[in-house]
Structures are given as C-alpha cells and as structure tokens.
Amino acid sequence: MASQEPTPEFIQLLTTHQSRLFAYSLSLLGNRQQAEDVMQETNMILWRKSDQFKLGTNFGAWMLKVAYYQVMDHRRRLNKQALFVDDENFLAELAEEAAMSTELTERQQEALQVCMQKLPTRQRELVRLRYSEGASIKSVAERIGSAAAAVKQALFRARTNLISCAQHRMKEQLT
C-alpha cells in the first residue's frame, strides 16, 4: 500500500517547526553538521509517515520523538568512533530538557509576534527597521526624518511594551 502525499496542513506544520527541530537536534548532538544530518533524516521519516499524523494533535511532540530516535540511531552509528557520551538515560534527560526549552522558545516567539501586531504602527515600524533589518539608530532616524534621541526613546517604549505584553501572554498560557 503506497502512502499518501502529505497534506498542505502537514507541510505547513513541518516547515514551521524546522528551527525547533534543528535546535533540538543540535542540543542533543552538539555538532552542527550532525544535527543537520539528523534533521534531514527526521524530515524524511516525517514525510513518509505523514499519513500517520492526526491533525489537531501535538505535531511538535511527535516530531521531537521521531528526532530523538534518529539522534539515538545516529549516536549508535558514531559509537564505533568512540563517542564521548553513551549513556542513554543521560541522553533521554537531555532530550526532555531540550524539548521543553525549544517549546518554551517557540511559545515566546509566538507571544512576541502577537505583541508586535499590538504595537502602534510607528513603534512596529521602528522595531522592524532596527532589529529585522539591522539598521543603526542613526540610519533609522535619517530614514524617518527624526532625531536619533527620539528614535532611541520610541524604541525603548516599544521594547517595554513588547516585554510587558509577552510576559502577560506567557503568564496567561500557564493558567
């Protein structure tokens, strides 16, 4: 029986979780190239098994479980080269911590995105210019025809608003 092609929803979930998958793999392996290899292997397995995933369930948890097994397999293959840690219990604990850490980071990023949309248009534009485009305060000021001190003050207010909003959203998620 041939497996179905992944649905657009599955593809969306897979693509939006790539940074989390890489961070998780890297945290368990400590080597960028190995993490990329495991990430690629994990993606192939997820793709092949896409028909086994039920929409509405926790994609991230499923993806990280598959990645965990891929890391274990990868480490077993490397064990022939005297890998520095071979304790599966240690790795399981590390995997659990990494999963929680990447999930927290993902929730923080989501909160920040929501909070960015709540900023006044001018503050949102200043944050975008300064942090997304990497423009200096001086160049932002020149671009918008304002004094550098005014841009600094507006960015301070924007950051304060973002921090307050994100903290509030994170607290709401805990309750």
Condensed to tens digits (0 to 9), the pLDDT of residues 105-116 reads 777 778 888 999
Opening angle at CA 174, ends 168 and 175, nearest 5: 95
Task: Report the chain's mean pLDDT, rounded to a whole number.
Answer: 84
Instruction: Please name the residue ranges forming H helices in the chain.
Output: 8-16, 18-29, 32-48, 59-79, 88-118, 121-127, 137-144, 148-174
pLDDT, position 174: 74
pLDDT, position 117: 93
pLDDT, position 123: 93
Q: Is the pLDDT of residue 22 over 60?
A: yes
In angstroms, the CA 84 to CA 154 distance is 50
φ, ψ (nearest 5 deg) of residue 102: -70, -35
Q: Which amino acid is at 3?
A: S
For the chain, residues classed under CATH 1.10.1740 are 1-116
pLDDT, position 90: 65
Q: Which amino acid is at 24?
A: Y
**Tokens 């292997």 — which residue?**
41
pLDDT, position 146: 94
Is the whole model's pTM more than 0.95, yes or no? no
**Tokens 């005014």 — which residue?**
150
Opening angle at CA 39, ends 33 and 41, nearest 5: 105
CATH fold of the domain at 1-116: Rna Polymerase Sigma Factor; Chain: A (1.10.1740)
Architecture of domain 119-175: Orthogonal Bundle (1.10)
pLDDT, position 135: 85
What size, in residues, is the chain? Answer: 175
pLDDT digits (tens, 9 = 90+) for 52-104: 988 888 888 899 899 999 998 888 887 765 445 455 666 677 677 777 777 77
For the chain, residues classed under CATH 1.10.10.10 are 119-175
